[in-house]
Amino acid sequence: MTLIKCPSCNHTILSLASRCPNCGFHLTQPRFQQGLSGSLAECKKCGRKVLSRTRQCPYCGAEHPARTSRIVLALGAAGVVGAFALLVVVAQQLQPRPPALGPATREILEPPAGAAALPASGPREDAPEPAAGGASESPPQREGAVPAAGAFDSPLQPARSEVAGSRLISAPEGGVVRWVSNWANVREGRSLESAVLQVLPPGRQVVVANRVAGWWEVYLDGRFAGYIAGSLLLSELPDTLIPRP
């Protein structure tokens, strides 16, 4: 039971009263909520004092007359939380991401497609230096060594053996004999993007033909094996690549 004001004369009366004892105004029971407590607040419609927890103003009948401030506070808190969540999402989107992994590093030993054949690899430290004025002379032949490359420059001549005891490789029409200077990839096409079919070791004898844009057709044991870069081939077999007995 609480005290309320009469809507007609503003006289203080009990909330259980059905009629105002001062002016005789009839108080309808549904206007008042029994057993409520709380602090006094102003009705958002008529401006009179009402309990903060009342559901209906006893003077003007407004629903939840003292809830305006609560609604404003709740909406403000919801707005702050929403703004904070939006800032978190934007910050995550702006964070730098690690770069994607690129394709595998291409072999630096092979030239790009369309490049001219590069000269053979430079002299090694253990290779003997040529005598002055004798750069055009052929190196002295030794037992078991391969003959000079000039003997195979003719496109119609068959290839000879690499070293004593090795198999003869029949060169195709227009083919010449070369030796692999370093580990070399035999590819499916005439470009670095083509798939690798096999890898040849240094000193391997091959037969090549039909050079196009720095790439040769390579034949192994008389059979077509793929394409190889011309910069990985030597016209002569260096002493460092000749197998030792």
- Is pLDDT of 60 > 60? yes
| More confident position, 64 or 114 | 64
What's the chain's average pLDDT?
70
pLDDT tier for residue 53 given thresholds of 50, 70 and 90? confident
Q: pLDDT confidence of 85, banded at 50, 70, 90?
A: very high
Query: Looking at the domain 149-241, which fold is it?
Result: SH3 type barrels. (2.30.30)
Q: Which residues contact 56 (CB under 8 A, 6 or more apart)?
A: 30, 31, 32, 33, 62, 63, 64, 65
**Rounded Cα distance, 233 and 59, in Å:** 106
**Percent with pLDDT over 70 in the chain:** 58
Quick one: pLDDT at residue 170?
53
Examine the pLDDT at 175 and tell me if it is beyond 70. yes
Please indicate whether residue 144 or residue 216 has the higher confidence score (pLDDT): 216
The one-letter amino acid code at 83 reads A
pLDDT at residue 84, as a whole number:
92
What does the pLDDT look like over 96-121, one tens digit per residue? 766 555 554 455 455 555 554 444 45
* Residues forming CATH 2.30.30.40 domain(s) in the chain: 149-241
pLDDT digits (tens, 9 = 90+) for 157-174: 333 333 333 344 455 666
Amino acid, single-letter form, for residue 42: E
Note whether 157 and 172 are within 8 A (CB).
no
Cβ-contact 193, 180 below 8 angstroms = no
Res. 2 pLDDT band, cuts 50 70 90: confident
Query: Model confidence over 182-210: pLDDT tens digits?
Result: 888 899 888 888 888 888 888 888 888 88
pLDDT at 73 over 60: yes
CA–CA separation, 72 vs 180, rounded Å? Answer: 84
